[in-house]
């Protein structure tokens, strides 16, 4: 069993909890109120801006040209596919790109981003990937569980969202290549490095789990 497979096994209880969250159950049956979905669009966009910065740093930290290529190609997909889908959802609902770019993340999403940025800037290449790995693999794992648990109705307004995260072939290719780098760095590194990589990954899994509640609750900062 590879290092990433071991970590995914440890994260499985969290994935099971995530798929039962009201936000994702609403996505699955199409009943999630649109304002809650648009909250996710709004706060996930600036998150992806920071995620893109981390991938760009990964290009710089990569030890080989091939690893640089993998990180760059994934970065390209994030900007031109995933963020473009966010922009499309926003435009369809009267939210401008400027509004997306100036959106403030909620407290949990912000803290999650700080964890990822800290792992990326202060850690090794392996720790950089570990910090964002829960995001890279989590959406796919959970969405695949969701679509296998029920039939997606043709009039479900979120069917394209489910399709992208559960069965997009290009995304799957990027994920597998990232995991190969992650596992290689773990096998080449010290036990202390693997312990650190696991800790950063599991922290990300816990943040992802909390984020689904934050989206449903449309979490905001407390103003006095």
Residue with more model confidence, 150 or 207: 207
Q: What global pTM score does this model have?
A: 0.95
pLDDT in tens, 8-43: 999 999 999 999 999 999 999 999 999 999 999 999
Q: Are 141 and 197 in contact (CB under 8 A)?
A: no
In a domain, 206, yes or no: yes
Question: What per-residue confidence (pLDDT) applies to 45?
Answer: 97
Question: What per-residue confidence (pLDDT) applies to 110?
Answer: 97
Q: Are 216 and 224 in contact (CB under 8 A)?
A: no
In a domain, 210, yes or no: yes
What mean pLDDT do residues 162-180 have? 94
pLDDT in tens, 174-195: 999 999 999 999 999 999 999 9
- Give the range of the structural domain holding residue 171, as residue numbers without chain letter: 3-217
How many structural domains is the chain composed of? Answer: 1
In a domain, 134, yes or no: yes
In this model, does residue 224 exceed pLDDT 70? no
In a domain, 223, yes or no: no
Structure tokens at 186: 């773990």
- State what percent of residues in the chain have pLDDT above 70: 100
Dist CA 81 CA 58 (whole Å): 19
Q: CATH no. for residue 34? A: 1.20.910.10
In this model, does residue 222 exceed pLDDT 90? no
| Banded pLDDT at 223 (limits 50, 70, 90) | confident
In a domain, 177, yes or no: yes
In a domain, 207, yes or no: yes
In a domain, 222, yes or no: no
Q: Are 217 and 106 in contact (CB under 8 A)?
A: no
Residue 35's SS3 state is helix
Residue 157 CB neighbour total at 10 angstroms: 13
């Amino acid at each position: 069993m590879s290092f990433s497979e071991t970590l995914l096994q440890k994260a499985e209880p969290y994935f099971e909890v995530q798929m039962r969250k009201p936000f994702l159950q609403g996505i699955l049956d199409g009943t999630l109120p649109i304002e809650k979905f648009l909250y996710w669009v709004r706060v996930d966009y600036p998150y992806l801006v920071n995620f893109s910065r981390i991938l760009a740093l990964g290009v710089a930290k990569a030890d080989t040209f091939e690893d640089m290529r993998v990180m760059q190609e994934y970065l390209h997909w994030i900007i031109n596919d995933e963020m473009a889908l966010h922009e499309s959802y926003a435009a369809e609902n009267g939210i401008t790109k400027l509004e997306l770019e100036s959106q403030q993340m909620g407290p949990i999403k912000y803290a999650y981003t700080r964890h990822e940025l800290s792992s990326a800037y202060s850690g090794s290449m392996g720790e950089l990937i570990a910090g964002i790995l829960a995001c890279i693999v989590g959406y796919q794992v959970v969405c695949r569980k969701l679509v296998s648990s029920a039939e997606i109705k043709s009039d479900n307004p979120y069917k394209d969202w489910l399709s992208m995260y559960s069965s997009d072939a290009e995304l799957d290719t990027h994920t597998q290549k990232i995991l190969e780098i992650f596992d290689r760095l773990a096998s080449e590194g010290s036990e202390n490095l693997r312990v650190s990589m696991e800790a950063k990954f599991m922290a990300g899994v816990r943040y992802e789990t909390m984020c689904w509640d934050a989206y449903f609750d449309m979490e905001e900062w407390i103003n006095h």
